[in-house]
Amino acid sequence: MHLVDQELSEPYSIFTYRYFVYLWPQLCFLAFHRGRCVGTVVCKMGEHRHTFRGYIAMLVVIKAYRGKGIATDLVTRSIKVMMESGCDEVTLEAEVTNKGALALYGGLGFIRAKRLFRYYLNGVDAFRLKLLFPRPDLQPSLQTLAYKDEHDYQIPIEGCSTNCSKF
Residues binding ligand COA (CB under 6 A): 7-8, 59-61, 66-72, 94, 98-101, 103-104, 107
Is the Cα dihedral 77, 111, 126, 97 positive or negative? Answer: positive
* Residue among 21 and 138 whose Cβ is closer to ligand COA: 21
Residue closer to ligand COA (CB basis): 45 or 71? 71
Quick one: DSSP state of residue 87? -
Report, in Å, the least distance between residue 60 CB and ligand COA: 4
What minimum distance in Å lies between the beta carbon of 76 and ligand COA? Answer: 9
Output 5 or 144, the one with its CB closest to ligand COA: 5
Q: Which long-range contacts (CB under 8 A, 24 or more apart) does 30-35 make?
A: 31/61, 31/65, 31/70, 31/73, 31/74, 33/65
Give bridge partners of residue 90 from the DSSP assignment: 54, 131
**SS3 at position 131:** strand
CB of 161 to ligand COA, least distance (A): 16
Rounded Cα–Cα distance for residues 148 and 144 (Å): 7
Shortest distance in whole angstroms from residue 131 CB to ligand COA: 13
How far separated are the first and last CA of the chain, in Å rounded?
Answer: 33
61 versus 82: smaller Cβ distance to ligand COA: 61
| Nearer Cβ to ligand COA (109/145) | 109
Minimum distance between the CB of residue 68 and ligand COA, rounded to whole angstroms? 5
